[in-house]
A and B are shown apart, each in its own frame.
Chain A
Amino acid sequence: MALKSTPVVFGLMTRLSRRSFSTSKALASKPMTVRDALNQALDEEMARDERVFLLGEEVAQYDGAYKVSRGLWKKYGDKRVIDTPITEAGFAGIAVGAAFAGLRPICEFMTFNFSMQAIDHVINSAAKTFYMSAGTVPVPIVFRGPNGAASGVAAQHSQCFGAWYSHCPGLKVLMPYSSEDAKGLLKAAIRDPDPVVVLEDEIMYGVQFPMSDEALSNDFVIPIGKAKIERPGQHITLVCAGKATDTALQAANELAGNGIECEVINLRSLRPLDFETIAQSVAKTHHLVTVEQGWPQSGIGAEICARVMESPAFFELDAPAWRVTGADVPMPYARGLEALALPRPADVAAAARAVLGNRISQAAQQ
């Protein structure tokens, strides 16, 4: 058994390591909501490439069900911002067909819950065609929209598709957290020649984040497949994506008060998964907790744990890795129950403490 960690002396760390909650280098910049960042990405990419167009339910005259496409119809007109009827299989198929023929559609699902009506076109039509055609039919399309649990909308409207879509080769799957993520990842997705699923989060749409000058530029693109270390730390690695990043950062903040320094890795991209960054972090912290809103079985955390098991990173662990996930139940409606079905900062903090307390050396002594 390889135990490479130095025992953490929690007490000494207290207070010294307390740090403020920050996610960006450019704190001085003007804050921007995730919604506006997405809107800016759409606007810039439509201006940049005539082949790019947006279609979906209520994207044009209504300005977007969640106002992500606000103003774009007025600016680009009926040809490039297309309101569809409520007919997901149909319009997703139409979008994929247009991509076959060389356009660059952005297919908005009002929420990803409705993408299940169209999942055949995401998987069978979009993801597999380039391979099936031996590279002769590229499918440059973006499927985007809010994913995962909103608030008080119950089981059919509160589901994370991260595990579902990232299961499938041929797709790239992104999950932005901040405004910079949202803009840089969506722009990268639109420019990418492969089908990309961008899983946004309704609850994050209205949240403001600072935007660096770089992120405000027309050329700001975040590379697909690279995670971001939102917060460095040496005691435990928290791997998360999307809104779960917020949960993990809050937990890290809380734990810092107890002298536990978390390294928070915002995956940004679920497929490709930047395992290199995770492994490097685990080599430093020797402890791992994954945080996601989706269900546990066959989830993102399960994938990360499996990859750790299969790699030398396993030997870096001083304790079993844990997953913090959504509860393994359909989402209930009642406020109290709903709160119990999704990970909160306290749940992550408790898991981190348990993992740190479960160190194998201690377990062996018992």
Chain B
Amino acid sequence: MSKLIPNAAKFFAGSTITKTAAPVVTTSTSKYSTKSEATFEIKPYKLHKLEKGPATSATLTSEDALKIYEKLAVLRRIETASGNLYKEKIIRGFCHLYSGQEAVAVGMRAAMRDVDTVITAYRCHGWTHLMGVSVLGVLSELTGRRTGCSRGKGGSMHLYGRNFYGGNGIVGAQAPLGAGVALAHKYRGDGGVTFTLYGDGAANQGQLFEAYNMAKLWDLPCVFVCENNGYGMGTSVDRSSASTDYYSRGDYVPGIWVDGMDVIATREATRYAIDYCTSGKGPLVMEMETYRYSGHSMSDPGTSYRTRDEVQEVRQTRDPITSFKEKIISRELVTPDQLKEIDTKVRKEVDEATKQAKTEPEVGTEELSGDVYYNNLEPYIRGLHPDAPLQHCEVVARN
């Protein structure tokens, strides 16, 4: 039965659906769906100082559905692997998992163009992969090995990639940095938009409001994306924020509230945001309401400030992957088999990367003093005492 699409499965399982009521049965022997596209309704957006919001329905092709599903699955899998590596004490220090929030990044990335740029906070494993770094590049950075995208020198909060400026360990610091990247887009006139992501915790940082102000003053093409997962560490939004309508907290910066658990909604909202920013109207705030399943970081069991039931309920009713899966299967864009194939492929890819991330060596000790400066002018870098000087080395090629 596993190779049958759902309606046909029901039919063969003794459903009362007749042949005529289930025309799809004609393809019952096929692994693949027949519908090439379907249109989905999106939970209404909330708008702040905007007359018209993003489209409230969106069409998804079968191909898009598969691509999106694969990205959602790989992000979830990376975090499962990360959690395990942390428990095995192979990942050190901090490790902040993105599980539960995948629809935000995956939907946004699906709408982004090649020229667009991203900066986010420390919950950045998924974003790094979506911006082009391999699973191995991410996982072996977390394990601190030479195949890591920062050669093991950055760790879990300091991942970078093309058009991706981190990964930032300082809550809220990425807000003006992102506005600066947007300034560079405008300065060059390249038509790019910067997505600057921060959490509901960082939403109370003063420098975010400084960034809003200058971004609006100078009409920078910057989308401030508040990933509201309900908790800044262990402090719920109600206990941290005098207003929890994060989409409206840019005041003079228009904003949109988006269901961040719906990847179709986040994709549509991002398309809208790109149109908005590239038309020269300046910045936008997008609040993505989402949820994180794990604690703030691996050292937080995440149960003292919320109940296990709460987490379970979100998993069962709002999970971004399960809900997307149900949608695309029920609309016959994909078959369960196709998704299983993806699951298998993703599991294999992440398992292999995990294995390699454990076995790769760290970089050589000479890289302790590598790339401190682009153009080093010190005769030597001081080590621990005067008789232990280090030589600066240029690991990456200079222009």
Contact = CB atoms under 8 A, between A and B. Distances in A.
Nearest to B179: A94
Nearest to A225: B377
A101 B185 contact: yes
A296 interface: no
Contact of B180 (A85, A97, A120, A169): A97
Nearest to B178: A97
Interface stretch (B1-9, B14-22, B153-161, B263-271): B153-161
B251 interface: no
A98 to B, nearest CB: 4
A278 to B, nearest CB: 13
A100 B180 contact: yes
A101 B184 contact: yes
A346 interface: no
B147 to A, nearest CB: 11
A124 B171 CA distance: 12
Contacts of B13: none
Interface stretch (A60-68, A129-137, A241-249): A129-137
B184 A132 contact: no
Contacts of B297: none
Interface in A256-299: 272, 276
Interface string A80-123: 00101101011111111111111101000000000000001100
B150 A98 contact: no
Contact of A130 (B182, B218, B374): B374
B386 interface: yes
Interface in A171-224: 172, 192-194, 224
B220 to A, nearest CB: 8
Interface in B139-176: 149-151, 153-154, 158, 160, 165-166, 168-170, 173, 175-176
Contact of A91 (B117, B173, B176, B373): B176
B206 interface: yes
B176 A92 contact: yes
A172 B373 CA distance: 9
A79 interface: yes
Given A134-B371, A137-B160, A138-B374, A97 B213 contact: no
Contacts of B182: 97
B175 to A, nearest CB: 7
B158 A132 contact: yes
B370 to A, nearest CB: 7
Contact of A85 (B153, B165, B213): B213
Nearest to A88: B210
Interface in A136-170: 136-138, 140, 169-170
A73 interface: no
Contacts of A310: 386
Contacts, number: 155
Given A97-B119, A101-B181, A134 B395 contact: yes
B377 A272 contact: yes
A90 B119 contact: no
B378 interface: yes
B396 interface: yes
A91 B214 contact: yes
Contact of A93 (B166, B175, B372, B375): B175
A84 B170 CA distance: 23
Contacts of A99: 180
Given A121-B173, A130-B374, A134-B151, A97 B183 contact: yes
Nearest to A193: B374
A102 B187 CA distance: 11
- Among A95, A132, A276, residue most surrounded by chain B Cβ atoms (within 10 Å): A132
Given A137-B165, A192-B375, A193-B374, A97 B176 contact: yes
B124 to A, nearest CB: 12
Contact of B207 (A85, A89, A98, A133): A89
A322 interface: no
B177 interface: yes
Interface in B36-89: none
B399 to A, nearest CB: 9
Contact of A225 (B165, B170, B179, B378): B378
Contact of B386 (A96, A136, A138, A311): A311
Contacts of B149: 134
Contacts of A132: 150, 153-154, 158, 160, 166
B165 A97 contact: yes
B379 interface: yes
Contact of A131 (B169, B185, B372): B372
A272 B378 contact: yes
Contacts of A276: 379
Contacts of B211: 90, 93-94
A84 B185 CA distance: 18
B394 interface: yes
Contacts of A120: 170, 173
A224 B376 CA distance: 10
A311 B382 CA distance: 13
Contacts of B396: 134-136
A104 to B, nearest CB: 10
Nearest to B165: A100
A134 B153 contact: yes
A277 to B, nearest CB: 12
Contact of B210 (A89, A125, A194, A272): A89
Interface in B229-277: none
Nearest to B220: A94
B217 interface: yes
A122 B292 CA distance: 32
A227 to B, nearest CB: 13
A183 B176 CA distance: 30
A125 B154 contact: no
B177 A96 contact: yes
Given A85-B210, A93-B211, A98-B181, 5 more contacts: A93-B179, A131-B372, A134-B150, A134-B153, A137-B166
Interface of B: 117, 119, 149-151, 153-154, 158, 160, 165-166, 168-170, 173, 175-185, 187, 206-207, 210-211, 213-214, 217-218, 370-375, 377-379, 381, 386, 394-396
23 contacts: A85-B213, A89-B206, A90-B207, A92-B176, A93-B173, A94-B176, A94-B177, A94-B211, A97-B179, A99-B180, A124-B169, A125-B170, A130-B371, A132-B153, A132-B158, A133-B154, A133-B166, A135-B371, A135-B374, A136-B396, A137-B160, A194-B374, A225-B378
